[in-house]
Structure 1
Amino acid sequence: MKAFGLILKILLGLITIVVIAIGVVIATVDPNDYRDEITGLVKKETGRDLTVETMSLSFFPHLSIDLESASLSNAPGFSDSPFVSIDKVQVGAAILPLLSQKLEVDTLTLHGLSLNLERNKDGQSNWDDLVKAKDENDHHEDKKDDEEHSNPMDKLAALNFGGIDIQNGKVVWDDQQSQQKVTLENLDFTSGAITFGEFFSIALSADSSVSQPQINSNFAINLEAKLEKDGQYAIRNLHVSNTTSGQGIPVKQATTKIDLPSFALENNTLSLPSLAVDYDIIGGKDFPLDTIKGQLTLSEFTGNLDTQAFKANQIVLNSDVTGETIPNGKATIGLNTSADIDLKAQTAKLPKLTVKVLDLTANGDVHASQITGDALVNANINIAQTNLRALLNQLKITLPEMADKSSLTKFAASFGVVFASKNQALKVNDLKLALDDSSLTGNAAVSQFSTPNIRYDLTLNQIDVNRYLPPKKEQPANTPEPQADADAKIELPVELLRKLTIDGTIKVGKASFDKLKPQNIVMTTKGSKGKLQVNPLKADIFKTQVLVNAGLDVTGKMPKYSVKTNTNNLPIGEVLLAFADSDKLSGTGTMKADITTAGERVSEFKKNLNGTAYVDLKDGAIKGFNLAQSIREAKAKLSGKTLPKTDEIPQTDFSSLVADVTIKNGVVNTNRLSAQAPFMRVNGSGTVDLPKETLDYLVKTKIVASDKGQGSEDFKDLDGLTIPVKLKGALTSPGISLDLESLMSQKAQAEIEKKKDEVVKDVQKNVEDKLKDVFKGFKF
């Protein structure tokens, strides 16, 4: 007991000595007395001027130092603003823990902190001199000391830090090199007591502004963090809110909120059980939407920072958008997927992807490689059946009136996509597209988007084009047809065609267009550098196979066109009925054509038309005009007789009709025009000037007696005579003269000579009127 009492007396004595010593220091030491020495030392080490208005020390209950109105001058050559200035600095440490080599630091208080960071036009910063001074000091430190402190956390193992309290701070970054200025104002940063192995709170808020482009934002961050002695850390209850506006963003205002319940980083493995990002965007003047509001959630996310591999079990995005361009003013967009990303292997996978936009739902999978370089993307997409007409109406896309109102109501598609960014190549494989009753399958590809190289092989089972055309409306008989521009300009994407390379084939099982019903259609298109060729274009139509070879050349100043065809067993009547809505001519035979032209307008097409055409028809007729009946009526009137009415079809039959023409600069010259009818032989010669839309033609009809056909016995007495028909004038309504007078004067009897002139004129007018009607039927 005596020993214990002795020890107690010694301790009390020591404490008394310490208290007396502290009292003497407080009473006798004024830190302001050393202010000049401190500022001088800073000047010597940094070349900067340190100013402190007041300094004070306190020893109870903690050892602490207080500074007020302190500032450090800027580097030479920069602005006059201080590099850093602080209204109040306070930091302290508990005394007794220091006796047991433990450091318990009070909250570091920095009020009115202002930090001015600058970079001049030469790229020099206003802290370069401070970094250089530090580097020189570090160079002279003992290397052995570095080896002893390989883990800096060991040095701080006994640290207990009361936290940080920064209020009304300001940070300015003025970059003269990029003419960019960033300012943080009203900066507040606080933290709870920091102890290894325990969570502590952090709160940060500030108003920021950026110039060129001008962007303003205010943000607040709240979280809890834990720091381990081995350097590992964890974050939980992270909440971030940010509102941004300004001319530098395409919207009026964007607000985001992030909630992260927990965050862990252990052995360089990142773990996020869940993450939620809420966003609320208000569109600007030129932004297509009024508002975008929604949430992005991330579930079961893990990432290894060493292997750079990241996985997310689920990513969900839901957005509500509004605006005048949105159907009914609003719409919902949804996305759901999982993700597997490996940055070292440069691969990314979205194995379960679903996208919903309005009434459209698509699902599939995406696999990408070389994602940090020349990305290669493979995707499989399935679009569920939807009402395309309703979807387009929702998108406020006005559809033209269609004959079938149930068209575009069934749409579905599935396809594979391969995209290579290196050569800008896009491939569509295994395409299956269904539209109403039509089904399109095949493959397609395009590469080098600036100079497109297009390849495709597509098959369409059937299509009824009439369903998608405007309904035909009955017009009153006397209503004139609307006249289109007779010399309209044909617009072609010339620059694109000059860059384009194409090689593709499309096959169509059967199609309906107006009165045409072709089957087994095959169209192969090849071309490059402004020259395109369609060869073949073939189809089963008009009970035969039509074969066409067409070309387009835009390499010169004026587009050039070419068409070749050689078709046998062609029913010309059905062709005219389908294309010209006229059946004035019938017969079956061969049609050949090899025609070229050039130009941008119809008038130029006519002027530059060159080539040959050949038609050979058998067993046909010119409908609406019966030349045999007209001659019989003429003979009867000359004899003072009247023929009884007949039910004979008003047409002129022929057993053979051959036309062989050459076209030069739009002028059609006849090499041969001949026809054989039961009672006559026809030969013609002349020209048709397409640019001037005129013709000058002479057709000679030689009467040949026959026992059969339209002539029969009525023409035996006219055997060997020739009837000339002259056609001259406008192509659409030529003047037609029929020289029946010379014919009748040869055969007329003397007793009816007085009636000849009257009868000839009457018959001639009748025949000419019928011929004009025939020409109108062909719609020249």
Structure 2
Amino acid sequence: MKKFLIFLVVFLALIGGGLFAAVKMVPLEALKPKIQETFHAATGRDLIITGGMRVTIWPDIGVKIGRVAISNAAWGKAEQMVSLDEMDVALKLMPLFEKRVEIDRFVLRAPRIYLETSKNGQNNWDITPAEKTAEEQDKPQKTESAAAVQDFSLSFGALKIVDGVVHFEDHGKAEKYAFDSINVTVAAGNMDAPVAVEGQMQYRARQLNFNFQADKLSAVIAGKPFAGKAVFDVAPFIKTSLEGKFLQSADNYLTAATETQIGDINGLLKWLSPTHSGEIPFTSLGFSTGKLQLGKAPDVVFGARLENVALKLDDFEMKGAVSFRQKAGAPPHIDADVALPVPLDVPALMARFAGGEDAAEEQPAEKTQAAGWSRDVMDLSALHSLNGTFVLSHQGLIYKNLKSGAGKVTLTLAGGKLVFDMPETGLDKGTLSAHAALTEAGAGTMLQIDLQSKDMPVQPLLIAFADIDKLTGAGTAYFNGTAKGNTQAALVSSLGGKAGFHLRDGMLHGVNFVDITKMVQKKLSNVGLGDGGTEFANFDATFAIQNGVMKNEDFYLRGPLVEAKGKGQVDLPQQAMTFRITPQMILKQAMQENAETGEKTLKTTGIAVPVDIYGPWTALKIKPDYAAVIQDALRDPEKIEENVKVIKEEVEKNLENLKGIEKELKNIEKPEDLLRGLLGQ
């Protein structure tokens, strides 16, 4: 701004000389060489005047100069730094006699300004006066004229730019910016009075409208602190207004209250930077703030901080503080500490980042592929378009059928890695802590999950994260897993880690071990499972997970009527399971002490027949292994005889519970009769 003010002063001085000459009846064409010489001496640049010059002296002193240009720096790409079709300037005559310069009008028509920065950082608008000759250096300096100029006050009427163009090119960074169709009107009384600027311009085929007001024109021109208000909009992208203090320091551009509405976030980013890639997973942004600060730092090209913010991203509303910084060659970085007035739906938020429509090519069904899991590619590239840390104070988190109480979570996004942390948080019943990390890398995308629950019903957790609803009860549970891929099927098939639970007072749905024991007596060999279940007082299991298969070696369930032990695996990719369980009808239990060690264990007496439970989750089958019972009997026939005796004693005490096998038990007289029954003879 200062450099262009120098041009203005030089022009006014030249005009004054031209007017004086006109009064003396000197031909205007004869003035051009002198004007050009004086301009070159003051600026070091050439002034090219190819149009005509016309002067008026009444009622105002005015001059019109057509087709004027100022040469560019020697290294510049453009031939001319400034050119214009016409400059129309008029000074009020009478105030000059009172040492007042009142500009009645100052109009620049079709100015074209080409600003350039060289590869070594030089600016073409840096003006250096021409070197003086030895003769000129020996001449005494005139100071009277400068003092005389300072005695004059300066005021303005209408200042206009009509159909202007400003182009900027940074040769070092290979960046170009072009502002066209610039129309500006400036209204200012004098240098110490308020100023108002209103105008429009075109930038990348969009019209930008702006309005600016400041409390003191001289402060604006000098780049000193001033109070002001600015409003601008670019339809349909953004409309913003701010009011506050400008240029408080070299690094503090603005401190103000502001209100902004962005109707198309991604459209705005692409308009500002055509090379911008990736999609921000939101459409609209609206915010107001009590305090906005804009500035820079040594390693930050541009930064902003917003306090007392009311923010709305599409249908997500929040309040708090937000900061933004942009470093050269890096994605934008946003830090936020905000509070949500309503519960946050986590899947809905994650869906914003996984909104890809492309689907993976269909692959032939193989055992290694996940049956029933989606193979649609999840486009998570948006994770690379932004970095930041988001601290959310919430009124509850919703994940499918899970809902937490109020708490705080932290989201960290850096280099395409999104990390979610939730400390131990109360749920409807029990507590849950969670940590998850998602690192985008195309087909190599990595997912890591760590869940810990205490005194929490297990069924909602299994439904939410494994789509399994066969187990109820409450207790402790954990899941630590990692997976790789950018489809649901790939993630499930590559899952590895560990899991486990210790549950109490629940039911294993679809598996009724009491009925399984009765089934043995009915000589059934292969049946489907019904809608029943097995009630338990305790249920424990741990799993080692590899390639989506959860292997178990310590299955243990104890209920009021049955005890079951076993091992097996859950095949998540195939949505199937294979378990070998040995259920035992509890007819008698007693503590038994080891004679050598003194260790006491609970001994259960009853019928124990191993069964295989297998098949897809939706159609599990069960098959007793009678051969194993026979082999056990041959190894220890006295044990069979003892069990028969206990069974007969317990029948009278448990008629209701053992009604299904009562009749057959009463007909058993010898151990071999039981074996015949098991063999179907």
TM range (shorter): 0.5 to 0.7
Q: Distance in 2 between the 1:736 and 1:591 partners?
A: 27
Match of 1:485 among 344, 365, 375: 375
Matched, 1:655 2:537: yes
**Alpha carbons of structure 1 residues 223 and 595: separation in structure 2 relative to 1, 3 Å:** closer
Alignment of 1:381 onto 2:244: no
Q: 1:165 aligns to what?
A: 28
Alignment of 1:460 with 2:340, yes or no, is: yes
Partner of 1:272: 156
1:168/1:185 contact within 8 Å kept: no
CA contact (8 A) 1:542 1:575 kept: no
Residues 1:434 and 1:453: Cα distance change in structure 2 (over 3 Å): closer
Residue type of the partner of 1:202? V
CA contact (8 A) 1:168 1:188 kept: no
Q: Which structure 2 residues correspond to residues 44-443 of structure 1 after superposition, within 5 A?
A: 161-166=24-29, 184=48, 186-191=50-55, 200-206=61-67, 212-213=77-78, 219-225=85-91, 235-242=103-110, 267=151, 269-279=153-163, 295-303=183-191, 311-317=193-199, 333=209, 335-340=211-216, 342=219, 346-355=223-232, 362-369=240-247, 373-383=250-260, 413-423=288-298, 424=300, 425-434=303-312, 439-443=317-321
CA distance in 1, matches of 2:56, 2:101: 16
Q: C-alpha offsets along residues 569-591 of structure 1, whole Å, 9 cap, x if unaligned? A: 11112233445555322111111
Deviations 1:63-119 (CA, angstroms, capped at 9, x unpaired): xxxxxxxxxxxxxxxxxxxxxxxxxxxxxxxxxxxxxxxxxxxxxxxxxxxxxxxxx
> What is the alpha-carbon distance in structure 2 between the residues aligned to residue 632 and residue 732 of structure 1?
23
Secondary structure of the 1:576 match is helix
Per the TM alignment, residue 339 of structure 1 is displaced from its structure 2 partner at its CA by 4.3
Residues 616 and 532 of structure 1: is their aligned pair in 2 closer, same or farther, counting only changes over 3 Å? same
Query: How far apart, in 2, do the equivalents of 1:597 and 1:508 lie?
Result: 28
Shift of 1:546: 1.0
1:564 matched to 2:450: yes
What is the alpha-carbon distance in structure 2 between the residues aligned to residue 367 and residue 666 of structure 1? Answer: 60
Kindly indicate whether the alpha-carbon contact (under 8 Å) linking 1:438 and 1:462 is maintained by their aligned counterparts in 2: no
Distance 1:570 1:212, change over 3 A: same
Cα distance in 2, alignment partners of residues 698 and 753 from structure 1: 21
**Aligned equivalents of 2:458, 2:505: Cα separation in 1:** 11
Q: Distance in 1 between matches of 2:179 and 2:389?
A: 45
The one-letter amino acid of 1:460's match is: L
Deviation at 1:291, TM superposition (A): 12
Aligned to 1:519, the other structure's residue is in SS state: coil
Using a 3 Å threshold, how does the CA distance of structure 1 residues 505 and 313 change in structure 2: closer, same or farther? same
Instruction: Give the C-alpha shift of residue 604 in structure 1.
Output: 8.0
577-586 vs 603-612, greater mean Cα deviation = 603-612
Query: 2:266 touches 2:283 (CA, 8 Å); kept in 1?
Result: no
Give deviations 1:425-472, integer Å, cap 9, x for gaps. Answer: 4222111225788641111334462467754321111156499989xx
**What corresponds to 2:3 in structure 1?**
none
Distance between the aligned counterparts of 2:60 and 2:213, measured in 1? Answer: 33
Alpha-carbon deviation of 1:568? 0.8
Percent identity of equivalent pairs: 16
Cα distance in 2 for partners of 1:688, 1:223 equals 87
More strand by share: 1
Code of the residue aligned with 1:433 in structure 2: it is: L
* Cα 1:369–1:297 shift into 2, 3 Å: same
What secondary structure is seen at the aligned counterpart in 1 of 2:606?
Answer: coil
The within-5 A match list for 1:544-623 is 544-550=430-436, 562-579=448-465, 582-595=468-481, 611-623=497-509
Cα pair 2:67 2:86 within 8 Å, conserved: yes
Distance 1:616 1:629, change over 3 A: same
3-state DSSP class of the match of 2:587?
Answer: coil
Higher relative contact order (CA 8 A, sep 6+): 2
- 1:692-711 matches, within 5 Å, as 697-705=579-587
Greater displacement, 575-584 / 504-513: 575-584
Contact persistence 2:410–2:422 (CA under 8 A): yes
Q: Is the 8 A contact 1:351 1:366 kept in 2?
A: yes
Partner of 1:445: 323
- Per-residue deviation, 1:296: 3.0
| Bigger radius of gyration among the two | 1
The letter for the 1-side match of 2:307 is N
Shift of 1:298: 2.3
CA drift of 1:676 comes to: 1.2
| Distance (Å, rounded) in 2 between the aligned partners of 1:422 and 1:504 | 22
Cα distance between partner residues in 1 of 2:391 and 2:609: 53
What amino acid is the match of 1:240?
L
Q: Does 1:685 align with 2:571?
A: no
Shift of 1:338: 3.1
The count of residues paired between Structure 1 and Structure 2 equals 521
Specify every segment of 5 or more residues in structure 2 that has no aligned partner in the other structure, as ranges.
1-15, 38-44, 117-147, 168-176, 271-281, 353-370, 525-529, 590-603, 634-663
**Is this contact kept in 1: 2:383–2:418, CA < 8 A?**
no
Task: Summarize the Cα distance change of 1:634–1:223 in structure 2 as closer, same or farther, 3 Å threshold.
Answer: same
Is there any run of 5+ residues in structure 1 with no aligned partner, and where?
A: 1-152, 174-180, 249-263, 284-288, 304-309, 398-406, 471-480, 639-647, 708-717, 761-780
Structure 2 length normalisation: TM-score? 0.58
SS across alignment from 2:395: strand
* CA distance in 1 between partners of 2:566 and 2:481 (Å): 22
Summarize the Cα distance change of 1:489–1:338 in structure 2 as closer, same or farther, 3 Å threshold: closer
Give 1:281 shift: 8.1
CA distance in structure 2 between the partners assigned to 1:291 and 1:453 by the alignment: 28
Q: How many angstroms apart in 2 are the aligned matches of 1:731 and 1:705?
A: 31
In the aligned structure 2, how far is the partner of 1:611 from the partner of 1:482?
Answer: 22
Cα distance in 2 between the residues matched to 1:158 and 1:207 = 20
